[in-house]
């Protein structure tokens, strides 16, 4: 970042920090109008430019006629196709503003930088931008944020706002955790009882799980997304170059589904949607063919709804108690020459991978899917530290790093819990998020490419409202975005904090209920 002082970089407030930034002498003044030029026969570029024109209104700017003397913004898609499609180049000079990229995503990310250079909350149309050159590209392919809507349900308006937050920070994955013991949140046409029964619990735990005796609010709670709502949200995310990755939990965390279809359990039920957090014994029966028929039908609908390449199947925290007691599961172990229930889980996951493969999808699972043998093409999401990810990489599998130590945004943000909303526990301050390094030193250089990137997770046992979800996610999301986008040698926590001074003004303008910086 030669050619400018750290102080001038920080005053711009760019988050995440670009790969290369050179500030030059001079400024360009905008006064209500700008001219916009792009390849109008390019449908995708026209869509991006229309969205850009709409956003400019927030800053008091409008697109003017070509003939006047207003400054010009040129958006250009280069045609080589060899570069990273998420990379972009942005220059501001006395010639105007030029944004170019070989990919549409790169154009979109360049526009996010332009928005950040404009003054947040300033709708007067008067803006002064420094002459500069930016060459920028992401460090990692996978830059994710997760949201659990199964423990607590969030309206579609908030899901879109969450996607806006992801996109403005140049992140590109929204991991949508849709099913749990405490609720099933996606309508499946073949199985209507999932929305009638599985989407609703009779009551919810009051206070923390550790509080004894447990108390409940006595109020029926739930909700689900229709397939039409899901299609609308996916379209909204697609316009922002965010891939939506659905998670359908199996073989554990399945009590809500089993409440509607108890015949898919080992015991046959009856079961009820859980009202308390934690890990529960009721799981899908691995010995019944009906289980795989049900899951194949569910996943077929999910695959048709979600155009992205990935479906997350959970695979975590699956107690083996019922399988040990189940004659059908034990028969499955014997007939397939499996050693134990861990290998039965591996059998289960491999069958599910085959189903997803038929529908053109890659399977992602939490690191427990390593137990008993890993499905051939599976992507491992390592959450119990980094070891699972290291093991998977060493076995030549792709990995997403999401360790609790740095990526669990349901943890407290302060050691002093007074004044903080009730959380599951733990302590994850902003600085520790910023220290996250997704590529461990002890991974061989020739295998580091297998680490796709990282992701922060927002589990919602104790997060009941959109405002609280924002508070737990932001500003830690800003730190995670910089970890996953910016070059490792550009990271500087003090610089990040200084840039956040301006960035928080953008969050204020968006009405984000973020935790104030210490």
pLDDT in tens, the chain (518 residues): 434 455 678 989 999 999 999 999 999 999 999 999 999 999 999 999 999 999 999 999 999 876 678 999 999 999 765 679 999 999 999 999 999 999 999 999 999 999 999 988 888 999 999 999 999 999 999 999 999 999 999 999 999 999 999 999 999 999 999 999 999 999 999 999 999 999 999 999 999 999 999 999 999 999 999 999 999 999 999 999 999 999 999 999 999 999 999 999 999 999 999 999 999 999 999 999 999 999 999 999 999 999 999 999 999 999 999 999 999 999 999 999 999 999 999 999 999 999 999 999 999 999 999 999 999 999 999 999 999 999 999 999 999 999 999 999 999 999 998 889 999 999 999 999 999 999 999 899 999 999 999 999 999 999 999 999 999 999 999 999 999 999 999 999 999 999 999 999 999 999 999 999 98
Pairing outcome for strands 200-201 and 221-222: antiparallel
For residues 146 and 409, give the distance between their C-alpha atoms in angstroms, rounded to a whole number.
Answer: 10
Distances (CA, A) of 271 to 184, 277, 292: 14, 16, 19
Q: What is the pLDDT of residue 83?
A: 76
What's the helix, strand, coil split of the chain in %, to 5?
A: 35, 20, 40
Q: Hey, where are the domains in the chain?
A: 6-136, 142-485
CB distance 288 to 264 below 8 Å: yes
DSSP 188: -
For residues 401 and 438, give the distance between their C-alpha atoms in angstroms, rounded to a whole number.
Answer: 6
Per CATH, 6-136 and 142-485 having the same topology is answered no
Token representation of residue 487: 């070059």
| CATH number for the segment(s) 142-485 | 3.20.20.80
Q: What is the pLDDT of residue 69?
A: 84
Distances (CA, A) of 256 to 193, 280, 498: 10, 11, 46
Q: What is the pLDDT of residue 162?
A: 98
Residue by residue, what is the 3-state secondary structure of 456-497?
Answer: EECCCCCCCCHHHHHHHHCCHHHHHHHHHHCCHHHCCHHHHH
3-class DSSP state for residue 176? strand
Q: What is the pTM (predicted TM-score) of this model?
A: 0.97
Q: What is the pLDDT of residue 121?
A: 85
Q: What is the pLDDT of residue 2?
A: 39
Q: What is the pLDDT of residue 7?
A: 61
What is the fold of 6-136? Chitobiase; domain 2 (3.30.379)
């Amino acid at each position: 970042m030669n050619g400018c002082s750290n102080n001038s970089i920080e005053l711009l407030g760019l988050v995440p920090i670009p790969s290369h930034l050179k500030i030059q002498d001079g400024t360009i003044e905008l006064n209500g109008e700008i001219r916009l030029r792009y390849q109008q026969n390019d449908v995708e570029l026209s869509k991006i430019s229309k969205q850009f024109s709409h956003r400019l209104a927030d800053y008091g700017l409008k697109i003017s006629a070509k003939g006047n003397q207003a400054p010009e913004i040129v958006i250009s898609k280069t045609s080589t196709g060899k570069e990273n499609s998420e990379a972009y180049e942005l220059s501001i000079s006395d010639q105007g503003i030029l944004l170019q990229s070989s990919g549409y995503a790169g154009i979109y990310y360049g526009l996010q930088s332009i928005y950040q250079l404009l003054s947040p909350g300033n709708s007067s149309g008067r803006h002064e931008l420094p002459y500069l050159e930016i060459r920028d590209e992401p460090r990692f392919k996978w830059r994710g944020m997760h949201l659990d809507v199964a423990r607590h349900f969030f309206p579609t308006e908030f899901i879109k706002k969450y996607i806006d937050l992801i996109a403005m920070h140049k992140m590109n994955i929204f991991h949508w955790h849709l099913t749990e013991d405490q609720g099933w949140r996606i309508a499946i046409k073949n199985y209507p009882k999932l929305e009638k029964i599985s989407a609703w619990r009779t009551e919810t735990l009051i206070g923390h799980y550790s509080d004894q005796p447990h108390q409940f609010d006595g109020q029926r709670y739930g909700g689900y997304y229709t397939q039409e709502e899901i299609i609308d949200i996916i379209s909204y995310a697609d316009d922002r170059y965010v891939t939506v990755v659905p998670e359908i939990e199996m073989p554990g965390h399945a009590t809500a589904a089993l409440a509607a279809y108890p015949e898919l359990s080992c015991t046959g039920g009856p079961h009820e949607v859980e009202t308390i957090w934690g890990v529960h014994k009721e799981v899908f029966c691995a010995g019944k063919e009906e289980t795989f028929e049900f899951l194949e039908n569910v996943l077929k609908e999910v695959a048709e709804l979600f155009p992205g390449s990935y479906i997350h199947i959970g695979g975590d925290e699956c107690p083996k108690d019922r399988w040990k007691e189940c004659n059908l599961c034990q028969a499955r172990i014997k007939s397939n020459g499996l050693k134990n229930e861990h290998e039965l889980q591996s059998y289960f996951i491999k069958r599910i991978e085959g189903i997803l493969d038929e529908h053109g999808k890659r399977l992602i699972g939490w690191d427990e899917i390593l137990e008993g043998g890993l499905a051939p093409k599976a992507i491992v999401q390592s959450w119990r530290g980094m070891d699972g990810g290291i093991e998977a990489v060493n076995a030549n599998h792709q990995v997403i790093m999401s360790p609790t130590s740095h990526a669990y945004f349901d943890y407290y943000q302060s050691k002093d819990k007074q004044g903080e909303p009730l959380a599951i526990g733990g302590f994850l301050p902003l600085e520790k998020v910023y220290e996250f390094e997704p590529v461990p030193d002890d991974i061989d250089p020739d295998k580091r490419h297998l680490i796709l990137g990282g992701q922060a997770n927002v589990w919602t046992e104790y997060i009941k409202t959109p405002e609280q979800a924002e508070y737990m996610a932001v500003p830690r999301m800003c730190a995670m975005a910089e970890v996953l986008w910016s070059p490792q040698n550009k990271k500087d926590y003090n610089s990040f904090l200084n840039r956040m001074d301006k960035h928080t003004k953008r969050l204020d303008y968006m009405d984000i209920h973020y935790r104030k910086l210490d």
